[in-house]
Amino acid sequence: MKKLGLFLCGFLFAASLFSQTKEVAGIKLPETLKVNDKTLHLKGAGIREKWFLDLYVGALYLPHDYPSAERIIAANETMAIKIHIISSLITSDKMISATKEGFEKSTKGNTQPLQDRIDQFIKAFSDPIELDDDFEIVYIPGEGTYIYKNGQKKELIKGIDFKRALFGIWLGEEPADEDLKEAMLGEE
């Protein structure tokens, strides 16, 4: 009887964990992330595609709902973006190139005030990128934007202006992928 009780407890715990995830392209994403004392909630997630190829899963985590992408970009609150690589075609060089292009679009070509910090951010992609690599971009007010690769801290970049340009890559007027933007905003 005791074994049955332990089995049922284990099963219910596992079932509750399963119900607290969302699956996109076979990647399980947690419904919440804990950052310091803040709980962030999954707003939405989708697939970054280019030339009919699935490249990565992108997910947006927020402390509460916002009325628009512009408000998310402007907000000085803890939030995060997760990127999970789902294609072996993504290389470090391709990710760096796409990131530079994203900053160009996000800043409408005015990257100069952020260039040193953009270069610092790009260092997070300098090591080889492999299938199933997981990047977390976490903004914390008063600290900056942390970049983690597979749970290991790679960089910390200061400034709300940098966070706004960075989040604009996915949520701005000219996003990396319009369908991914809509999915991250929970609009699809």
- End-to-end alpha-carbon separation of the chain, Å? 47
For 121-144, what is each residue's pLDDT tens digit? 999 999 999 999 999 999 999 999
Sign of the alpha-carbon dihedral angle for 180, 69, 118, 35: negative
Reference 123, options 100, 150, 89; nearest CA is 100
Q: How far is CA 96 from CA 77, 93, 121, in A?
A: 26, 5, 9
Residue 5, both tokens: 């009780």
- May I ask the CATH architecture of the domain 29-184? 3-Layer(bba) Sandwich (3.50)
pTM confidence score: 0.87
Domain parsing of the chain, residue ranges? 29-184
pLDDT in tens for each of the 188 residues of the chain? 444 333 333 333 343 344 488 888 788 999 999 999 999 999 999 999 887 788 999 999 999 999 899 999 999 999 999 999 999 999 999 999 999 999 999 999 999 999 999 999 999 999 999 999 999 999 999 999 999 999 999 999 999 999 999 999 999 999 999 999 999 999 86
Quick check: 58 and 81 in contact, CB under 8 A? yes
CB atoms within 10 A of CB 53: 12
Sign of the alpha-carbon dihedral angle for 176, 167, 30, 32: negative
